[in-house]
Amino acid sequence: MVAFGEPWPEFNAGICYRDLIRRSDSGATLIEFYSRRYKSSAPLHGWLQRIHNKQITIDGCVVTDPDAITREGAELVYHRLPWKEPDAPYLLEILYEDNDVIALNKPSGLQVLPGGLFQQRTVLTQLQRHAGNLEVSGCQEPHPVPAHRLGRGTSGVLLCAKTKLAKCRLAAFFADGTSVVGVSRNNDPLQKTTRSITKLYRALASGVILEDEVVIDHPIGLVKYPGVAQGLYVASPSGKPALSKVTVLERNERSNSTLVQVEIKSGRPHQIRIHLSFIGHPLVDDPLYGTDGQPKYTDHEIINESFGQDGGYERPEKPVPGDCGYHLHAHRIAFAHPATNEIIDIIAPLPHILRLLGESSKAEEGM
């Protein structure tokens, strides 16, 4: 196994959030601006704490008066204090690499891009640290970045670009939607006529799914949810179209679970978790989604109003999308290479709990 990654420092470096005052905000006080625009980040008293703690500047000057008046064109900067991010793996196994792309086996528990409590402990950080060791095509500068996302609790193949050109082309592929590629051989879903990218997942669903194959096409949209500023993705008639093809691989009546393969032909956030929940078979040990593609806890009005050292809300008591525990693995990805159009097919080894009996035996023989 070829892998890279540096251990995480105990504390991150903090982060700066910049705002340029628009005409519509001109004349508002500092506390009015932040408490209205970023009320999901901290309660009113939290923003007062941040101001008094000298964490906010206007045009480079520290301001401790919450009633200071903002003016159009002024630059406001909120300096978030360094904090200890939750534990996360840091080693990344390389599954495939050439001068344009690198495919990684992302471990469960590692976030792909910065967000929330995870600003440094991400795949992107490790890629940027590793940039000096990357060989790229032509005279291009290394610009490593994930080409798509996987949930923090999801493991498996993560396709990354190594240059800006590769990033643009892969982004266009994903924007077109996932579909199947190549020419059909032996009924292999990854070998049918397609656009550019196909992704196959392995998952452990709760309950025994009676049908051998289920196609789920329910839209996915956003609802308000405590602790998730942009909202929570759920099954919603008014959401965006989403299509998942679920194939039963193995039923286990004793554990009341079903091992499934899922091919997604759209890339909505948490799509597999939501769609399996929608048909009454949420992922085993999924802390967030219950049935009907909705969260287990629907009392959306209760929010923890306490705030921590930096004035922000404490972690919500209710589960949030990044919580781990479920069993979902991006097992296989096939895509048209951004430089050559050659079909590249990459497989990430399966976690033990997601293997069929025969696959477990073969894996043990290979050890």
- The 10s digit of each residue's pLDDT in 282-310 is 999 999 999 999 999 765 443 443 445 67
Mean pLDDT of the region 144-159: 96
Distance CA 68, CA 27 (A): 9
Asked which of 68-72, 110-114, 357-361 is least confident by mean pLDDT, the reply is: 357-361
Domain 15-80 has CATH 3.40.640.10: no
User: If pLDDT is split at 50, 70 and 90, which confidence band does 41 have?
Assistant: confident
Per-residue confidence (pLDDT) for residue 138, from 0 to 100: 75
pTM summary value: 0.86
Per-residue confidence (pLDDT) for residue 245, from 0 to 100: 97
Task: Check whether 206 has a pLDDT greater than 90.
Answer: yes
User: If pLDDT is split at 50, 70 and 90, which confidence band does 82 have?
Assistant: very high
Mean pLDDT of the region 185-206: 71
CATH no. for 92-365: 3.30.2350.10
Mean pLDDT of the region 133-139: 84
In the structure encoding, which two tokens stand for residue 146, read together? 């994930």
Per-residue confidence (pLDDT) for residue 188, from 0 to 100: 53
| Helix, strand, or coil (residue 357) | helix
User: If pLDDT is split at 50, 70 and 90, which confidence band does 228 have?
Assistant: confident
Q: Where are any strands of DSSP class E within the chain?
A: 3-4, 15-20, 56-58, 61-62, 75-80, 92-97, 101-106, 145-146, 155-161, 197-206, 213-216, 220-225, 228-235, 244-252, 257-264, 328-336, 343-347
Mean pLDDT of the region 249-271: 95
The residues facing 240 across adjacent strands are 220
Distance CA 243, CA 204 (A): 19
- From the list 248, 244, 263, 157, the residue with the least C-alpha distance to 200 is 263
Mean pLDDT of the region 194-222: 93
As a whole number, the mean pLDDT across the chain is 89
Per-residue confidence (pLDDT) for residue 187, from 0 to 100: 52
Domain(s) labelled CATH 3.30.2350.10 in the chain stretch across 92-365
Task: Check whether 233 has a pLDDT greater than 80.
Answer: yes
Task: Check whether 327 has a pLDDT greater than 70.
Answer: yes
Asked which of 11-25, 145-159, 184-198, 270-284 is least confident by mean pLDDT, the reply is: 184-198
Domain(s) labelled CATH 3.10.290.10 in the chain stretch across 15-80
Per-residue confidence (pLDDT) for residue 312, from 0 to 100: 74
Per-residue confidence (pLDDT) for residue 360, from 0 to 100: 61
Distance CA 194, CA 197 (A): 8
